[in-house]
Amino acid sequence: MARRKKIRKEGKVAIPTASMSDIAFLLLIFFMVSTTFRKEVGLKVLLPEARATEKLTRTRDISHIYISKDGKISVDDKIVTPDLLKLAYMRKVEEKPEIIVSIKADKNAKYDYVDKVIESLRDAKALRVVFATNFKR
């Protein structure tokens, strides 16, 4: 019996890359659609009621500060002191001078806590401040 020798043809192996860009764009679209952005949680607060309120139409440059009834202050989901609040808002005002600060204080919080926050914001030159309330009918 004679042994057969395999004859190899030397040539280049081609990988088809015509649909690579389609696959890349499909993956990009998939990740854009399936990604969820984390929303700021803040502290649990019961907002005070007001008879007359005005809804902010521009929600783009709003920063929220939460004040709980026991005096905890939360900015960007971090508990801060009034001194750290001042430093944080000095930086924020420097980056965006048109920033609006929304204070969401618990209706049972002592005014002393709210006053410390307002003083810290005044020192940081964050002068556009609004208070969040629930509309009372």
Query: What's the pLDDT tens digit per position in 52-91?
Result: 888 877 778 889 999 999 999 999 888 999 899 999 999 9
Task: Name which residue leads in pLDDT, 121 or 18.
Answer: 121
Residues 91-103 have pLDDT tens digits of 999 999 999 999 9
Phi, psi of 98 (to 5 degrees): -90, 15
**What are the residue boundaries of the structural domains of the chain, listed by start?**
49-135
Q: Above pLDDT 70, what percent of the chain?
A: 91
Q: 3-state DSSP call for residue 87?
A: helix
- Distance (Å, rounded) from C-alpha 35 to C-alpha 55? 29
Q: How much is the pTM?
A: 0.69
User: Looking at domain 49-135, does it have CATH number 3.30.420.270?
Assistant: yes
| Candidate from 11-20, 61-70, 91-100, 114-123 with smallest mean pLDDT | 11-20
* DSSP secondary structure letters along 28-83: HHHHHHH--PPPP------PPEESS----S--TTEEEEEE-TTS-EEETTEEE-HH
- Of 64, 71, 69, the closest CA to residue 42 belongs to 64
Handedness of CA 93, 99, 103, 104 (dihedral sign): negative
Residues in the chain: 137
pLDDT of residue 121: 95
